[in-house]
Structure 1
């Protein structure tokens, strides 16, 4: 199915990362459809898939989820096949969040939102997607959100993956991040399929934080703890 030239809808996609940074949600807000790449290959090595940074009294620190990959599937397993290696991280992460943000204005409000998910999620993908979904609801982000595993059983790689998703959800504009995603984008190939390529214009805002000088590129949890529902306005007013 070829996207209608008049659909005028914007697609963005991303792996279901753990409590992502602000730019992740900025991209969702500026899309009509966002697709969680839940069935693509889980990356080798360290990535933001299973970790992110929060600001503590001693500076930024990583919250990392120990994950396990099926025997013999390292570098081949999808996000859906990855699981928790242990459950000890749950209490550790919640304790770090408490120590870091108990004095933040919206700590209790945000804690009540995310703690049940962190404590009870039964799989790695469910944890990450559920947290992102809950944060989107909290920030009143109305973008349609879909899992790749629910729309396509087969798809290509890199630019072909983008084309396959655009055609599956009938959009004609692809919104890309400006980081590693650029290496996947073959603009000529997209144009041949009637898909316009645009890039996120996200500029990281500065906002009031706890613990001294401003630190950028924290998990969105840092913004939420400090600014609550006003985080949406801060995300959008970053020009």
Structure 2
């Protein structure tokens, strides 16, 4: 059993943890934290590592539970994200296999960040053809009885997760970049992405 945060098109390391367990739990009772993969992911563009950020509505001075965080649509971020993905990955081997399902997510306006993240997760699991059940916490988990992998949601960390190389669109120009969004792996490896995930290990204290 693994404990994880639901994140936005999660980093590959999170799906390594998922692919190598039989069941996992999503922590949904935590307080929202900035600079995490809860509302961001990194992809590979012609300019290198690129941030896609989901803007949220802030309540000044008030802590929000992640499940209560609402998405801010005033800047049409969803259109920008889709266009950026199309520009970056249209030449990748498996882009056309998944773009139609991705468009459905970006065309829908989710009120809550958690709902968006869970929908992204469902899309990825379907694409990987990976059937692993999950549950959601009913209270914040302090005394953990299983593998706590919540730190995989931390975007700003000194800890790097070095994963095996696979071919990337702009690798010849910028070199291999490890642990990008799962979308990068999916667009490049397609059905083989699951074999890749199952062959990796995530080690941290």
Give the match's secondary structure for 1:224.
Answer: helix
Q: How many Å separate the matches in 2 of 1:91 and 1:24?
A: 25
Question: What are the Cα deviations for residues 175-226 of structure 1, in whole angstroms up to 9, with x where unaligned?
Answer: 2339579xxxxxxxxxxxxxxxxxxxx8612101111221112101001111
The 1-side partners of 2:93 and 2:130 are apart by: 22
Q: Is 2:74 the counterpart of 1:102? A: no
* Mapping of residues 1-239 of structure 1, within 5 Å: 11-43=1-33, 45-73=34-62, 76-87=63-74, 88-122=76-110, 123-148=112-137, 152=138, 155=139, 157-158=141-142, 160=143, 162-163=144-145, 174-177=146-149, 179=151, 204-211=163-170, 212=172, 213-238=175-200
State how far apart, in whole Å, the 2-side matches of 1:145 and 1:64 are.
25
* Cα distance change, pair 157–12 in 1 and its aligned pair in 2 (3 A): closer
| Cα distance per residue 1:118-159 (max 9 Å; x no partner) | 2214221111111112211221222111222xxx2xx3553x
Which of 1 and 2 has higher RCO (CA within 8 Å, sep 6+)? 2
Q: Distance in 1 between matches of 2:41 and 2:151?
A: 16
Q: Report the Cα distance in structure 1 between the residues aligned to 2:134 and 2:103, rounded to whole angstroms.
A: 22
How large is the RMSD of aligned CA atoms in angstroms?
2.1
C-alpha separation in 1, matches of 2:12 and 2:99:
18
Q: Give structure 1 regions of 4+ aligned residues with deviation exceeding 6 angstroms.
A: none
**Equivalent-residue separation in structure 2 for 1:82 and 1:101 (angstroms):** 30
Radius of gyration: which is bigger? Answer: 1
What runs of 5+ residues in structure 1 fail to find an aligned partner? 1-10, 164-173, 182-201
Distance 1:55 1:129, change over 3 A: same
Q: Is the 8 A contact 2:3 2:149 kept in 1?
A: no
Per-residue Cα deviation, 1:95-133 (whole angstroms, up to 9, x for no partner): 100110000111111211222112214221111111112
TM value normalised by structure 2: 0.84
Distance in 1 (CA, whole Å) between partners of 2:135 and 2:38 is 18
Distance 1:126 1:96, change over 3 A: same
Structure-1 separation of matches of 2:178 and 2:22? 27
Any conservation in 1 of the 2:2–2:21 contact (CA below 8 Å)? yes
The number of residue pairs the alignment matches comes to: 189
